Chain A
């Protein structure tokens, strides 16, 4: 079958084939040597590096957000805390019957199935394994319903995340601030170097101020994922650590009383617009600080929606602004206390000096009116303050001159930031002739001094400044730095006591003359004919001063009944006070924007704050109450509070 001639025997020496086989073997061996070398390189030399890269493939760290610390009032009552927020997620790939699941889930969490379907969309590839969060904050009911049906909802699971919760809603919102996702600009800053995109950070108020204390330490879970990103099992877990607590100087009840004082008397009516500041005159502690209108910081807790944000930022009354430190208003007649102190210190009003008030004051060709057209007749300094006689202060102010007046006003720390640790504080303005020259390149006019002497004109103060300067009148002339934080701890539990009470300076007025002013301010509230009678608190000696800040020139409102003046053109109402006169503890300043007269609009606001402050002492037996006011027991009772006797 096989031709013999074709069958060449291999053994004979004529064939080239056997001699070439070693060549082939050598080529193959060389190729294999390259392979061995490469295996050696990858598996023995680069193996550590490649093993790490393998680990980066399959180990994923899931961040566990840490709850923020609580913010408490001075009595340890919770103002801001963290609560669990329950959410629902789905893994699109694991939805066995998407239509049915959306339908059912929609009913369970009160959402339209269509919106759920839209949220999930139709992801492709790896995205199918990435959970989609359908809801972030279920009610207790919704959560219960979802969890009891989980067995039937393939691909659906619930989760828990910490969420900021402001227990009292809008109470103290301007102090507490709010939280929000860290912004791109912040991420670039060095002090936020250890923050990640998407992390929550204090964006305003104490939340931002004490971010380093309140922030917890995030934990994490290391999990094994496959190439699709599907979570397979957990390797390890580091529990997140809750942030430290912050104890504020605020008194929740006092804060609430101050807020309620600005609330509408009748339901449905617009509440008052304005601000209230209450300070401890011995320590500078901010006991209450209210700005109205305000906002509910809870709206920010889960990421604020653009609609709410726009409503807040575009509101003509600017609810986000803290009027207590950023609202600048002419002080009106509350300024007269400082003019009086200056005149006493300069010896311009020796005891017994009287000025006749005919109801108007003439300077050159212009006539300046006293608010009481009939005139006050002969008035001394005491009566001038008690009845807020304008003519007395026109004359006294002219005698002092604008620059001497400014010297004393600045001595009371007006026209200068109080150094409270809150952003956006405004400095106010105390004009001098040099200032006007600089600002307008015009010389100071005497008529302007007349306006300034009764707190109108260029003068601007913030409610906080006014409260501080009245605190200085009360405490014997000490300018205190306002204090917001009593105590704070960080994530590791290290407690830091708040800043010690700090005296920034002393007013350039002797105690003798301050006592004269104090007596007159007490008269404002307690004497017949005083403008501040609406601020009386039973059993407590209150001293204070009314003020009315003109919003537009008199010519616009002359002769019109108050009710008929456009709201925006109505005057601002001031009241600044301290109590008890014999051993002052608290100073309060309140402004009611467009409230009209100080005594009638702002006086009752201060009255309610003082009543709330002294309310509990009133119930106690007389001897204890006296002891309480003699010794600042209120402060000593506070955990971490510092007892300062000045």
Chain B
């Protein structure tokens, strides 16, 4: 099963690897600006991120090396383990910062695993029950349940940002199913009702404030509106060409909150201007399109389903993060994949891109 075919090397997707590496390296360059004051040695964050980059690359290569068709057998166990860990988290994990989502002393977030498990499990389900054959709502019972169960558990941990993210990633697959427009409207109505219910019963006041701050950043400039405001100021003051690397005042003087994690994109926008920020955005777009090309050119449906899942895993956090940074979405702590500081997220993301590499290099091989 580990047999390395010569053709695998020939067909290796250097373009994909290049895009990923470029984004990850730009992330580190940006992290350096955001965390290291002039004259200081490399910050701890940069060191740790470099280490994670190495670890993640290794993970990606390992994931790429194993033929993805073996993953199908991993799907069920992985899904069950993920559910089990989420339940365990609810039972034993301490509540930190309003949510209860970390295990093993804050090193491991079962919801990270849940994303992967959902991708595997839904891919396996749609492999056996082709999405083109769904005719009515009840045909969607199982895939909805596969997504809803972990999402529900994450909601129970009161980690609404991640729950939403997980829901969206799982939801990516529903773009494939063939159901009548009437049903789509029904789902939309249900969704609106669910959101209304969530607003009334499910959200804490601070969460409502964050959402309202998007509509009107001036309503409380020192609390929830503060981050959005400072981010907008940082982005806007970048102008066309930016203030220059490591010369953004919003970044360097720390007016920008959590600039090395959630607001890393604001740092790029301030210091590199419209040219830099749209270049990063374009790189992301290219990576995502490339992922879809991989899905389209996959030799089989399972590869395509996996690739679509990975694209979803990259697209949704990136979209939520950029929307938040640009003041278009509420502040939910979603980092920008590959770019933001955060070791486990970087390793996970790189490992997922390993799946894309995997599918891509096996597009001609059987």
| B301 and A36 contacting across the interface, CB-CB below 8 Å | no
Q: Check if B128 sits within 8 Å of A39, measured CB to CB.
A: no
Cβ contacts under 8 Å, B70 to chain A: 1-2
B237 CB–A CB distance under 8 Å? yes
Is A57 an interface residue, CB under 8 A from the partner? Answer: yes
How far is it, in angstroms, between the C-alpha of A2 and the C-alpha of B281 when the chains are bound? 39
Give the docked Cα–Cα distance between A47 and B277 (Å). 14
List residues of chain B with CB within 8 A of the CB of A18. 296, 304
Q: How far is the CA of A61 from the CA of B355 in the complex (A)?
A: 55
Within 8 A of A (CB), among B201-254: 230, 232-240, 249-250, 253-254
Evaluate contact between A39 and B295: CB separation under 8 angstroms. Answer: no
Residues of chain A contacted by B296 (CB below 8 angstroms): 18, 21
B298 x A10 contact (CB < 8 A): yes
A356 touches B (CB below 8 Å) = no
- Residues of chain A with a CB closer than 8 A to B341's CB: none
Which of the listed residues A28, A31, A228 has the most CB atoms from chain B within 10 Å of its own CB? A28
Task: State whether A39 and B176 are in contact (beta carbons under 8 Å apart), knowing that A16-B132, A57-B233 are contacts in the complex.
Answer: no
Instruction: Count A interface residues, CB 8 Å.
Output: 47
In the bound complex, residues from chain A placing their C-beta under 8 Å from that of B130 are 8, 14-16
Query: Once the chains bind, are A9 and B326 in contact (CB under 8 Å)?
Result: no
Interface assignment of B136: CB less than 8 Å from any CB of chain A:
no
> What B residues does A24 contact at CB under 8 A?
172, 175, 292, 308, 311
CB distance from B315 to the nearest CB of A (A): 6
B310 to chain A, nearest CB (A): 12
Q: A2-B72, A8-B301, A17-B176 are in contact. Are A57 and B236 (CB under 8 A)?
A: no
A288 to B142, CA, bound (A): 104
Residues of B within 8 A of A39 (CB): 235, 269, 274, 277-278, 281, 326
Q: Does B24 contact A (CB under 8 A)?
A: no
Q: A28 touching B304 by the CB < 8 A rule?
A: no
B131 within 8 A of A: yes
Q: Which residues of A contact B326 (CB under 8 A)?
A: 35, 38-39, 42
Contact of A43 among B178, B236, B250, B284 (CB under 8 A): B236
Q: Mark A138-151, 1 if CB is under 8 A from B, else 0.
A: 00000000000000
A27 shortest CB reach to chain B, Å: 7
The 8 Å CB contact of B236, one of A8, A47, A227, is: A47
Which of chain A's residues 1-58 have a Cβ closer than 8 Å to chain B? 1-2, 6-10, 14-18, 20-21, 23-25, 27-29, 31-32, 34-36, 38-40, 42-44, 46-47, 49-51, 53-55, 57-58
> Is B56 interfacial (CB-CB < 8 Å)?
no
- Say how far A290's CB is from chain B's closest CB, in angstroms: 57
Contact B253–A25 (Cβ < 8 Å):
no
B270-328 interface (Cβ within 8 A of A): 273-274, 277-278, 281, 284-285, 288-289, 292, 295-296, 298-305, 308, 311, 315, 319, 322-323, 326-328
Q: Which residues of A contact B273 (CB under 8 A)?
A: 43
Indicate whether B12 reaches chain A with its CB closer than 8 angstroms.
no
> Does A224 sit at the interface, judged by CB under 8 A?
yes
A94 at interface (Cβ–Cβ under 8 A)? no
Does A152 reach chain B (CB closer than 8 Å)?
Answer: no
Q: Which residue of B lies closest to A49 (CB)?
A: B236
A-B residue pairs, 10 tightest by C-beta? A50-B236, A16-B132, A54-B237, A226-B253, A43-B274, A51-B237, A227-B254, A47-B239, A42-B236, A58-B249
Question: Can you give 19 A-B contacts (C-beta < 8 A)?
Answer: A8-B130, A9-B300, A15-B304, A21-B295, A24-B172, A25-B289, A25-B292, A28-B288, A31-B319, A35-B281, A42-B269, A43-B239, A46-B236, A50-B236, A50-B237, A51-B236, A54-B234, A54-B250, A227-B253
